Structure 1
Amino acid sequence: MKMLFFLCLLLAGINSKSYCYDPNYQGMRNQNQRGQDNRNMPWQSVRNSVCQFACCFYKEISSQEKNGNVFFSPLSISTAFAMLTLGARSDTLTQILRVLSFNPREISENEIHEGYRQLMEMVNRKNTGLQLKMGNVLFVLDRLKPQEKFLNDLRNFYEGEAYPMNFKNAVQAQQKINQYVAERTNGKIKDLVNNLDPLTEILLISYIYFNAEWEKPFDPKYTKMAKFFVDGNKAVEVPMMFGMGLFKHGYDEQLSSTVVQMDYKGGASAFFILPDRGRMRKLEKRLSCERMSRWRTLVTKSSSVNLYLPKFTLYGTYDLKETLYKMGIMDLFTDKADLSGITGKPQHRISQAIHKAVIKVDETGTEAAAATGMEIVPMSVPVTINFNRPFLIAITLESNILFMGKIVNPLKKD
């Protein structure tokens, strides 16, 4: 099986009203204060907040895309907005941190940034069989001069870069930005920016690239065309992979869902969650970090399985402005925005926010990888698990959620 994830988050703007966070949030406290009950390392606290944000963002997106595929990187989106808090002030800062699920009574701003620094260090660590690269870049109108402290914090906490850009020459600026993104995603995202506004002042891009080999690849000769039931009545013909052997799996009775864990070389894992027929809404409504954590315990033991999983390529593209406005970020893309920590002046705002993610799933893991033979498991009666209807997917690395999505129609790429 081959799985490639390429993702790029382009930011330069946003607005809000429904909330998926603590309504009693009172804003960030003193930078040096530390919550008495917070005994986690900063990266653990950030990891937990990213998970909470992932569930909230997923529910918001899936409510908009009721019958469509969903795919995004909560880690990339969260990191990009955390970067913005380096320069955000007043209500703009409060709203961003609240939507990112940070509780001011438990963690300070310094600890948040240090937590992201530790996470990025972990993500960018070199692993055999796993290519994973995450990074951030800020394009700033060439006549604006970012504050030195902001630039230093951007570099030290987020490995971020800042480039001056002549946005008034929009065609040339767009070409340079797209070339930058394409180079850092191995050419998988080539035209991220379209119709760039020549009045743009600040453009923030966060990208993540993932390419991994399965520990147990599928053999392509067993891949056959089969029906995938998009809904109760409609079915499409998809290339369905087949694997027989020991797989980690379990059944979540409270969510009426079967969970299968498949591991990659290098330490990453994919969780495929198949709700019983008619139970997708129940699964989505009750989706939470606590439930996802329980899945790890649920699938600790391997047993013999006949596994059917479709091949698919999925592109998730989202204008984040409307979604994050509904989640609670109201000022960032309006005249109320206060990003004075970036330029020293409060009147600059973000004008656009685009998030793009790509996932490709097939048998092997990389183009050059050769499929192995089936794993023979004697003396056992295998369970059949057939992902022939809509299911969820979560990609993790050391319990960090890299990607999250829902496959409703494997043939529909957009």
Structure 2
Amino acid sequence: MYWRKMKPIILLFIFVIGVLANNAFPPNAGNQYYDNNCDDLPHALDRNHPNQPNLGRSQTPNEIVGRTNSNFAFKFLKIAASNGDQRDNSGKKNLVFSPMCISSAFAMLALGARSETLDQILTGLNFKPTEIAEQNIHEGFHDLIYMLNNGSSGLHIEMGSCLFVQNKLHPQPNFLYGLRNIYRGDIYMENFRNAAETIQHVNSYVEKKTHGKISKLVDRVDPVTEILMVSFFYMKGNWKKPFNPKYTELREFYVDPYTVMKVPTMFQMGMFENGRDDQRACTILKMPYEGHADAYIILPDKGQMDRVVRSLSNEAVQAWKRILHKSSVDVYMPKSKVYGELNLKDIMYSIGIVDVFTEKADLSGITGQPQHRVNGAIHKAVMVIDERGTEASAASAMDLVPMSMPIRFEVNRPFLAMIVERKTACIIFMGKISNPAEN
């Protein structure tokens, strides 16, 4: 029997929002840290919808947020996958994103939203006032972020947000409290008219938080920008059953019926949950990480990618729990280093989050003034699967494989991947990988 340590899948997700004010403040020299000690500030979450649901003991806020985030993830995937022109004219480029990163960034924005703008954000994120109060939404995100950051999931995850604010603005105490104590946010005061200095500060901050994986997030900043919001997500996870790099070899990968390429492909044999979903025309392999997370590798039948994407839902995942069964599997998995970049404005428009990008936006809870709107939103992601690791850890896992013909699961054509935190069923990563060798 042979095993190897696969270096983790490493995921990086950056979400950026630029907020412009209709009434600009005069510039002020200097770039300093805004020391917002919020420990003695009033709690930011006293603003609730009129009908407060009784959550009881059946589901905690983080479980509700996790389930709702999964609904949002599938909705986002369908819209993003159909917007092929954002990536190329054919829509065949890779699509990778973190639903948790995107939804938590907009939820943080909701702390400063009011009236219709607030309702649009929460509804767009798939929250229903009859199921969960706004206060409990933020509580759920807080618990999820804390759990992911402190290693309770068994994964190495760092997640947080930062505001870069025009230095003549004065963020509201309640918003600062929520930013720091709920969403683990930082805040820095900037002079956006000094674009070069701001760009350097933002990029160095992101480079540090992503361990150098993204060194140049922005290359320009509009001088009339009032608030720049950055949300980051970094993950490193080890397979519970690692691969052995000496069995990696070049194998064919069919990008489309007319494009075949040789890509390094890893191999292992072991006991994995797998199954066939005839209704959705795909085969599923579930691969656990060390800790409380699983990767679902979804391999559509030839030519059925669009059908599978349209059919994905929480109900589909529940159906897989009945379909998947553990058996001996020969796994062939391509090494990958794929990048994704999405302009979120059009996607959020389709989802129903519209006002934040227009003059109708009411984000007065951020600075006390209603004349602010979101100028743009960009999501950048990197997914790396490679084999760096130690031989000692590679030899630490072994299965007793029955003497029967193993099932062959060969990822040799475009596939879907999602990483799910097991305790809350929260989807923290999704990918539609059309070309594992794309740079």
Q: Same fold (TM over 0.5)?
A: yes
Alignment of 1:360-399 (within 5 A): 360-363=384-387, 366=389, 371-372=394-395, 377-398=401-422, 399=425
Partners of 1:255 and 1:272 in 2: CA distance: 14
Question: Is the aligned partner of 1:333 residue 2:357?
Answer: yes
1:31 to partner: Cα distance: 3.6
Partners of 1:369 and 1:348 in 2: CA distance: 55
1:392 to partner: Cα distance: 0.4
Question: Is the aligned partner of 1:49 residue 2:74?
Answer: no
Higher mean C-alpha deviation, range 251-260 or range 122-131: 122-131
Change (3 A) 1:162 1:369: farther
* Cα deviation code 1:184-238 (max 9, x no counterpart): 1111111111211111101111111101111111111111111111112321111
1:90 to partner: Cα distance: 1.8
1:323 to partner: Cα distance: 1.6
Partners of 2:61 and 2:147 in 1: CA distance: 13
| Counterpart among 7, 10, 21 of residue 4 in structure 1 | 10
| Equivalent residue letter for 2:51 | Q
| Equivalent residue letter for 2:429 | F
**Maintained 8 Å contact 1:244/1:376:** no
Partner of 2:3: none
Partners of 2:298 and 2:356 in 1: CA distance: 35
Partner of 1:22: none
**Maintained 8 Å contact 2:65/2:137:** yes
Partners of 1:11 and 1:265 in 2: CA distance: 33
Partners of 1:324 and 1:367 in 2: CA distance: 43
| Counterpart among 61, 66, 77 of residue 102 in structure 2 | 77
C-alpha RMSD of matched pairs (Å): 2.1
1:37 to partner: Cα distance: 7.6
Partners of 1:170 and 1:123 in 2: CA distance: 34
Partners of 1:374 and 1:311 in 2: CA distance: 22
Question: Is the aligned partner of 1:35 residue 2:53?
Answer: yes
**Maintained 8 Å contact 1:69/1:408:** yes
Partner of 2:380: 356
1:30 to partner: Cα distance: 4.4
| Equivalent residue letter for 2:345 | K
Partners of 2:83 and 2:153 in 1: CA distance: 38
Aligned partner of residue 267 in structure 2, secondary structure = strand
Aligned partner of residue 191 in structure 1, secondary structure = coil
**Maintained 8 Å contact 1:220/1:371:** no
Partner of 2:432: 406
Change (3 A) 1:104 1:127: closer
Question: Is the aligned partner of 1:185 residue 2:204?
Answer: no
For these two proteins, the number of residue pairs brought into alignment is 397
Change (3 A) 1:295 1:13: farther
Question: Is the aligned partner of 1:347 residue 2:360?
Answer: no
1:247 to partner: Cα distance: 1.6
Aligned partner of residue 53 in structure 1, secondary structure = helix
Aligned partner of residue 230 in structure 1, secondary structure = strand
Give the fraction of aligned pairs with identical amino acids, expressed as a percent: 46
**Maintained 8 Å contact 2:264/2:334:** yes
Note the residue ranges of structure 2 that are not aligned, 5 or more in a row.
1-5, 21-46, 85-90
Alignment of 1:284-323 (within 5 A): 284-299=309-324, 301-323=325-347
**Maintained 8 Å contact 1:51/1:400:** yes
Partner of 1:253: 278
1:356 to partner: Cα distance: 0.9
| Equivalent residue letter for 1:249 | N
Alignment of 1:77-116 (within 5 A): 77-116=102-141
Note the residue ranges of structure 1 that are not aligned, 5 or more in a row.
15-28
Partner of 2:223: 198
Higher mean C-alpha deviation, range 176-185 or range 331-340: 331-340
Higher mean C-alpha deviation, range 274-283 or range 196-205: 274-283
Partners of 1:128 and 1:64 in 2: CA distance: 33
Partner of 2:79: 60
| Equivalent residue letter for 2:314 | C
Change (3 A) 1:121 1:368: farther
| Equivalent residue letter for 2:435 | N
Partners of 1:126 and 1:317 in 2: CA distance: 27
Partners of 1:245 and 1:149 in 2: CA distance: 52
Partners of 1:232 and 1:285 in 2: CA distance: 21
| Equivalent residue letter for 1:401 | I
